[in-house]
Structure 1
């Protein structure tokens, strides 16, 4: 074999073996490829995940998560709003036609144990709603005084007596800031009372004001005579009709004595012995309430006697001393707290009305008669705004005696229980047998 042929033969052979070897290597690579592919696939997936982190899709997911957080926050705020009590603007009925209206009041109450209950009683037209309107507002503005004191000298000059219709009389008065409806001109002409039942209002600093209808009122008795169906729902059926009005007043007064921290007795002149007798009778007939622990609870509030429409001579030390001595003698056996330091005789409001000049102080307060024309004149006593501010601070500083409840909502349940005891009490029925 020549060198040419040998090189040609061995060249083909080498090419064959090289191709075979490369094929074997490729086969080995193919056999090793799954591991390599697996690794590269994992690397590719990791790289794909890294790329996805900067893609716009996660931005959409972030926006979706952000919206879900926003929705949950809105739902949380809505739940908080549902838990918060409603804001009350005008008074609502707590007691109407002999029934406790819990549905009217419960939305304005909350689980709060730091509250104060103030009620007011008195005869017709003495200014009960006016006093509560002044106490319920934080500040007394000129617009508020014009809205409350409807019978100023200017309005009397512009309105002829008995020559106006009830609708026209109401149009002359602004009632935007009035919380408790005062007695209007139409009520006076028709001989009807402005408040029926018990009205309820609670301030932002959790003071509950209760405005009660007048006792010993001819208008209430006239309503019973006109509608005898109300007698069965408001008082007992077997009571004499002529005594039903007074019995209802005694029941409401005894009811307020049991559920209030402070009870205000409003008068517009000194002295009405029938009012004192009525209040003492209500205290005598007030039933004793039992709590779940089978213990008898005999609660008595602070009693504040307010002389409304007081004149200049009522603020003199001599006259004020006489008034204090007479009230102290009449209420010497009362269980209500009448010497709590909430009157004018403490000396903290007026220097002239001090214990040295007027004797031991009781809860007697004077509110002067308001007149627009003589407002700027000197009257030897502080202004109406200052007196109301001092009265409000005295009421806020009153000691809160236990009412057998822990929160505002428990107080409402307690009111229903007390009114049920008052209506079922036999004391009022037995008292009617002694009435003339």
Structure 2
């Protein structure tokens, strides 16, 4: 909301690290109100957990692991702690206290669809909703010469947010709302031209269609389709490592030089890394990559640079559990939407960092909630005579 107001009454800041800019008064007020609401919700959630009888299961430890690792890393590297990161903990507590996880996932899908619609409407109301690439040599726009950034300062941020929330748009109950939501997200995603996000969604859709086939085919055919699906889930993390290993300095839109620099930094502090603010320091001291390195542009590389082997290990554990949860949801529960999440989230991490599980950013609301909710899902969701969790857009039925 603050950015929507800012873009209409002021200007869109350029997406560069270290940039300072002033919000117009109304945007500043709306930001303060939003921050107060987030912090108040976080405080109330923590209080409820302290006085209530919240039952914490193993998933909560997995959820907290990356946050704990980076908190310790930042304390050791810079003797600092970011208080706003506690929102991540509060969100996990809120998820633990909420009984209907599926309803929250549907709400997340609805918010994702709403974001796409707002972004598209903003095109007609403010020029700040678009980032022109008419004069750039490496223009990547798939629609015209402009990229859709919506209420964000960069199209990639919009793309990642929409991609992470896309699987849950498929869970919206009303058919016409679900179709409208999917269409809006697809159009906004293509217009944003975030190639990593588009690739992640395409892979996830292929996986989703594979699960549809597994549900409807015979036993032999299920094996024939299931093995490729298993291969995708098994290789989705190693691909992130392979890409870094084969990259040259100019590879993948200059991500190669960011990866090389990040890994060189990690080699100097291999166990605990350099803390959450390391890329902010790079923007000031290394101008050759400073304007490019918002982060490590790869989840594992970023984890190594900011939190060392400890953070990387916590991330890998979280990845493995999310993959397992997604596989179970596809194989046992026929919940294709949730089964697609691991594919989207981890493949975005090949070239981007949708979250550090520590810094409160533009994508945190969808990334943190989605990770926590998927981790918190029980092994069995179906009950005799209960609803089929397969998205209606994939099997043609209402849910």
Higher relative contact order (CA 8 A, sep 6+): 2
TM-score by length of 1: 0.23
Q: TM-score, normalised by structure 2?
A: 0.24
Which structure has more helix as a fraction of its residues? 2
